[in-house]
Structure 1
Amino acid sequence: MYIGVDLGGTNIAVGIVDEEGNLKHKDSTPTKRERQPNEIIGDIKRLILKVIEEYGISKDDINAIGIGIPGLADKKTGEVIYCVNLNWTNIPLKQPLEEELEIPVYIDNDATLAGLAEYEAGVMRGAESGIFITLGTGVGGGIVINGRINSGFNGVGSEIGHMVVGENYYDCSCGKNGCLETFCSATALINYTKKLITEENCKTIIMEKINGNLDNLEGKIIFEAAFEEDELANKAVNRLIKYLAIGIVNLICIIDPEIFVIGGGISKAGNFLLEKLREEVSKNKFYKSLPIGKIVLATLGNEAGIIGAAMLPKQY
C-alpha cells in the first residue's frame, strides 16, 4: 500500500492507494494557506495517520508516501523550492515527515503526478508515452515516456504552461509574454472574454447568463454560450483552441507521444472541446500524411492528484 498526498492551496487530500493505483480510502482537510509551513506540515502528518487508522492498517503496511505540490520541488532533498499558492520558498517537507512517520517520502509537481496517475490507472494505461495537460486556473503538464515521468534536469521539464506560443496582450505571472497559460487557462479564457465584452459592441447571451455582472463570469458559462452558437463566446473559445493546438503541435515535434490527455476544469467542455481541438491540431500538424497521438479527456478527475502522488515512489 502507498499513501498519496495532494497538497493544494485550498485543501490537503490524503488517500491510501494499492499497487495497481486503486484508491481505497481518502480524507481531506482545509489547507488554510495563510498559516506557517510547520502548521500545514503538521496537518499532513495527522491526516496521514488518520487515514491509516480509519482504513484499519498500520504504518508498517505502507511502503512509501508520495506528495504532489503546486510548485517546484527538489526531488533529491525533498525541499519545496517554490510554491506560489502557499507562499513557500525553500521549505523542507520530506525530512520532517520522514523523521516523524518513519516512512519514505517522495515529492514532485502535482500536474506531473496527475499525468502519472492517468498513465498508471487512467486513460493513458498501456500507452508507451503520453502527455497530460491540465487546463485550470493555470496550465500544467505531466510527461510520461516508457513508464517514467520526465521532469527534466531541474524538475521543470513538464512546465507546459510556460511554453511560449505567441504574443499576448498581457504578461504571464512568470514574467514572460506569450506563455500557453495566458491563452489556454480558464483564467485566460475569462479575461479575454471580459476584454471582448468591454471593447466590442457585440450582443452576447453571456451577459444574460451572468445577470449583467462580469464578476459572475466562469469558463463553463463561456463554453455553454459557445455551444449555443454565440458569436462572441465562440471567438473566445476558438482563440483558446488555436493556441492550445499550437502547443500540442510543438509537443508532437519534440516528443510525438502516443496520447494526449486533457484535464482540468476546461476539460468539462467534453466533446465540444475535443472535436474543435482535434480539427485544429490536424490542420496544423507538420507531417500531413502521418497520424498523430490520440487526444482524449482525463478520466480520474479530482482523484488523480492522490493516485499520482501514491504512484510516485514506484518511480524510484
Structure 2
Amino acid sequence: MYYIGVDIGGTGIQAGVVDNQGKILFRTECKTVVKKGFEGILDDIKIMIDKLLEENNLNMKEIKSIGFGVPGFINKKGLVTCVNLKWDGESFENELKRRFPNVEIHGENDATVAALGESKFGSMKGADVGVLYTLGTGVGGGIVINQKVFSGAHGLGSEIGHQVIGENYFDCNCGNNGCVETFCSATAIIKYSQKLIQEGRKSRILDLAEGDLEKINAKMVFDAYRENDIVAIEVITRFKSYLAKTFANTINTLDPEIISIGGGVSKASDIILDGIEDLVRKYVLYKKEDIAKIVCATLGSDAGIIGAAFL
C-alpha cells in the first residue's frame, strides 16, 4: 500500500505518492488559483491526483490514505479557515470525502504536517517529543508527541509562532502585538533592518539591496552579518535573543528532546545555531539539566508531502 501527501500552499500545491519508508516515489504540482475559490481549488487537486495515479499506473485501491496540509486551521468539525486562500469555515473534510469516497482522508495545518514528516523520517526521528519551528515569511510550527501530531483539545494547538514574547514596534498580522512571528521571521529581520537604516544607520545591507530599502531580504542581512556589518549584527543578535526566549518557553512547557528549525531563514543555520544553546540556557528554569537538542530540519520542502501522507 502507498500513501498520498498533498501540501497546499498560497501559490502552489504539491502532491506525492509515498511509500512506507517515507520515500516520495512520484510527485506532481499545480498552481494555487485563489480566484477559483474553495470548490475550484479542490477540483484542481482531484484532477492532479487522478492524473498522478494514471501516469504511474496506480489505482486508488493501492492507496491507504490521502493527507492534506493546509496553510490555516481545520477544526474538529472538519471546517477549514485559510486567510491567504480566502477560505472561511469551508467544509473541507466533507468535500474531500465526496471527491475521494473510497479512501481515508486526513487534514492538518501545513507546519504541523511538516513536523510529522521530520519526526518520522527527518531531523526529529526517534524523539518521543519533538517541536519544529518553520522560520519563513512568518513563523509556524508543529508539535509531535509519540509519533502523533498534537493539536490540542479544539484543534487550535501548535500555533507556536503566535506566542506573545514581548512588545514590538509593529503589530502582527493576527492583530496582536509581540508575537514570535514579529521577532523571529524573515519579515521581522527585514523590517528591523529597514528601521535602523531609516534612522540614519550606515549599513552594507543597503549596498547589497542596490540602495533600495524595499529590496532588502533576510539573506542580505545574514550576508552582511558575515561581513561584520554593525547593523546586521544588531539585527541578528536581536533575532537570536528572541528566538532563544521562544525555545526556552517551549523547553519549560514541553521539555522536548529535539527542537528543529526549518523554513527559509534556517538556510543561515551556521549563524543561527552558533551559541544558541547558551542563549537558551539563560531563560530555562533548570539551567544545569540536559535540554533539547537544537538542530536544523533535513527534509526541506518534502516534509509537507511526507508528513501529510502519514497523518
TM-score class, shorter? over 0.9
Aligned residue in 1 for 2:190: 190
Greater mean deviation of Cα atoms: 50-59 or 233-242: 50-59
Q: C-alpha distance in 1, partners of 2:95/2:151?
A: 24
Q: C-alpha distance in 2, partners of 1:17/1:77?
A: 27
Q: Which amino acid aligns with 2:51?
A: K
Q: Which amino acid aligns with 1:194?
A: Q
Aligned residue in 1 for 2:19: 18
Aligned residue in 2 for 1:154: 154
Aligned residue in 1 for 2:287: 288
User: What's the offset of the Cα at 1:303?
Assistant: 0.7
User: What's the offset of the Cα at 1:190?
Assistant: 0.6
* 1:3 and 1:17 in contact (8 A); partners too: yes
The answer to whether residue 224 in structure 2 is matched with residue 225 in structure 1 is yes
User: What's the offset of the Cα at 1:93?
Assistant: 2.1
The answer to whether residue 303 in structure 2 is matched with residue 304 in structure 1 is yes
Q: C-alpha distance in 2, partners of 1:85/1:276?
A: 36
User: What's the offset of the Cα at 1:195?
Assistant: 0.5
SS of corresponding position for 2:256: coil
Aligned ranges 1:61-210 → 2 under 5 Å: 61-74=62-75, 76-80=76-80, 82-102=81-101, 103-199=103-199, 201-210=200-209
User: What's the offset of the Cα at 1:284?
Assistant: 2.8
TM-score by length of 1: 0.95
Unaligned runs of 5+ in 2: none
Aligned ranges 1:23-38 → 2 under 5 Å: 23-38=24-39
Q: C-alpha distance in 2, partners of 1:96/1:35?
A: 15
User: What's the offset of the Cα at 1:148?
Assistant: 1.6
* 1:22 and 1:121 in contact (8 A); partners too: no
TM-score by length of 2: 0.97
Q: Which amino acid aligns with 2:278?
A: E
- Deviation string for 1:124-168 (max 9, x for gaps)? 111111100000111111101122211101212100011010111
- Deviation string for 1:240-285 (max 9, x for gaps)? 1111111110111110000000000110002211114223113332
- Deviation string for 1:44-70 (max 9, x for gaps)? 111111111222211100011100001
Q: C-alpha distance in 2, partners of 1:179/1:100?
A: 38
Q: Which amino acid aligns with 1:78?
A: G
Given the superposition, is the C-alpha separation of residues 198 and 276 from structure 1 closer, same or farther in structure 2, using an over 3 Å criterion? farther
- Deviation string for 1:196-250 (max 9, x for gaps)? 1101x32211111110011211111111111111110111111111111111101
Aligned ranges 1:218-257 → 2 under 5 Å: 218-257=217-256
Q: Which amino acid aligns with 2:190?
A: I
* 1:6 and 1:14 in contact (8 A); partners too: yes
CA root-mean-square deviation: 1.1
Q: Which amino acid aligns with 1:132?
A: L
- Deviation string for 1:158-199 (max 9, x for gaps)? 000110101111111111111101100111111111111101
Q: Which amino acid aligns with 2:221?
A: I
Unaligned runs of 5+ in 1: none
Given the superposition, is the C-alpha separation of residues 276 and 33 from structure 1 closer, same or farther in structure 2, using an over 3 Å criterion? farther
Q: C-alpha distance in 2, partners of 1:186/1:53?
A: 40
* 1:241 and 1:276 in contact (8 A); partners too: no
Aligned ranges 1:46-65 → 2 under 5 Å: 46-65=47-66
- Deviation string for 1:51-103 (max 9, x for gaps)? 112222111000111000010002x44321x2111011011222222222222
SS of corresponding position for 2:169: coil
Q: Which amino acid aligns with 1:44?
A: I
Size of the aligned set, in residue pairs, is: 309
Q: C-alpha distance in 1, partners of 2:84/2:287?
A: 41
Aligned residue in 2 for 1:272: 271
